[in-house]
Amino acid sequence: MRKPIFLLAFLIVIVIGLFMIRMVISNTISTSGVALGKTQDEITKFRTENMLLREKIFTFSSLTNIASEAGRIGLVEGKSSLALSKTRPIAALR
């Protein structure tokens, strides 16, 4: 007679324990979702910032910008160029 009562009490304690474990895990998962959302927002912000910085790099490294900066600091474009009137052959023709 005592065996079924102990077995029933043991099963009830197990069910309550499993319910508590499930509740703790559920609570942990729900709070980690908020942290995941914040992290994803930061990732999106940094990707946008990287795109803007890439555009700045492309702007500063463009040839028109380099030419205008060179003109601003006083460099001038060379007008004379060297041209050979007759090309010499590299190897003798046979």
CA distance 85 to 44: 60
- pLDDT for position 45: 97
pLDDT band, residue 1 (cuts 50/70/90): low
Do the domain assignments include residue 56?
Answer: yes
Do the domain assignments include residue 2?
Answer: no
* 19-44 residue pLDDT tens: 999 999 888 887 777 888 899 999 99
Do the domain assignments include residue 7?
Answer: no
CA distance 19 to 21: 5
Q: The tokens of 17 are what?
A: 């324990």
Do the domain assignments include residue 41?
Answer: yes
pLDDT band, residue 84 (cuts 50/70/90): low
- pTM, two decimals, is 0.48
Do the domain assignments include residue 47?
Answer: yes
Do the domain assignments include residue 51?
Answer: yes
How many other C-beta atoms lie within 10 A of the C-beta of residue 62? 11
Helix, strand, coil in percent for the chain, rounding step 5:
75, 0, 25
Return the amino acid letter for 7. L
Total number of domains constituting the chain: 1
Is residue 65 within 8 A of residue 57, CB to CB? The reply is no
Range of the domain at 51: 37-64
